[in-house]
Structure 1
Amino acid sequence: MRSFILFTVVAFLIDQISKYVVIHAMELARIRSIDVLPPLLNFRYGENRGINFGLFGGGSEASRWILIALALLICTAVTIWLMRSAQPRLAQISGGLLVGGAMANVLDRLIYGYVLDFLNMSCCTIKNPFVFNVADIFIFAGALGLILFSGDGKTAPRRPRKKPK
């Protein structure tokens, strides 16, 4: 469980620090666009009021609170599941990445009313119009890791020790 907690905190902090540095310190919110390694990596200011890629982003106050509640419900379910089952370390780490990223986006919704996004990646003459953030990377990696690395959740049966003769 220690790995889960550590990676939850690390993912949360990395996301929040990256948003502060890029959006506030580098003033992306004001200048709206910074080409870092064009076209592969660009910073583009975005306010995501929906789920991934702005889907269901009507921007209503009710949808904001529904998305917060849904994220908290999923984080709680993943945490309880990992606490109650014997999962390998990579599954614990994956769960931590997922929960840390989701909680970072929840904090954004609580503070700003939307999730701050700033990463934009394009390649091979395909211009990607979508922006995302570091938390989204952690959420995706964590979900994929849980699929790949979670076990059946049962502890291995212990063999009775043989008594010395």
Structure 2
Amino acid sequence: MRLSLLFWATFWAFLCDQVSKYLVVHWMGVAQRGSIDVLPPLLTFRYGENRGINFGLLQGDTDIARWILIGLSVLICVIVIGWLYRTRASRWMLISGGFLIGGALGNVVDRLLYGYVLDFLNMSCCGFDNPYVFNVADIFIFAGAAGLILLDTKKPT
């Protein structure tokens, strides 16, 4: 029962990410249009291909870099599953772990299919023009990692 919560959080995070990428990149055609104003300047869909990690760090346009990032993502997923399996993780920690895993696997699928991660979300505000784009998987990864850190109720000994 407990791990089914982890599975369903993973499933829904992964599905939300992949459906959003399909709708915005392929169906709405942001790749061909370059950008689509949704709530300018707060929210714009702007096409991006990320061959590194967040904010363009560790950019690598080689197959070895791609496979290293895929392997690292899968390893992190396995470590999180093992950690949550061995501990008495709360319901919210399991959901957080599922969000992190689902987001990471969404980006892994992109790397396998395209060789890079599809990004399309851009947010700017208050005169600041944000040059970075991200995706729904990145939101789930961030929320999941934050949840795992903030909701871990075990006290260090």
TM-score (norm 1): 0.91
Q: Is the 8 A contact 2:60 2:66 kept in 1?
A: no
- The answer to whether structure 1 residue 110 and structure 2 residue 112 are counterparts is yes
Paired amino acid for 1:49: R
Q: What is the aligned-residue RMSD (CA, Å)?
A: 1.0
* SS of residue matched to 1:116: strand
In structure 1, the residue matched to 2:7 is 5
In the TM superposition, residue 84 of structure 1 has moved relative to its aligned partner by 1.4
Paired amino acid for 2:49: E
Q: Is 43-52 or 79-88 further displaced after alignment? A: 79-88
Higher-Rg structure is 1
Structure-1 separation of matches of 2:70 and 2:102: 14
Structure-2 separation of matches of 1:150 and 1:111: 35
In structure 1, the residue matched to 2:146 is 144
Match of 1:22 among 14, 24, 27: 24
In the TM superposition, residue 57 of structure 1 has moved relative to its aligned partner by 0.8
In the TM superposition, residue 32 of structure 1 has moved relative to its aligned partner by 1.1
TM-score (norm 2): 0.95
Match of 2:129 among 113, 124, 127: 127
Paired amino acid for 1:11: A
Structure 1 residues not aligned, in runs of 5+: 154-165
Structure 2 residues not aligned, in runs of 5+: none
Paired amino acid for 2:54: N
Following superposition, which runs of at least 4 residues in structure 1 exceed 4 angstroms of deviation?
A: none
Residues 70-124 of structure 1 show CA distances to partners (whole Å, capped at 9, x for unaligned) of: 0000000000111111111010000000000000000000000000000000000
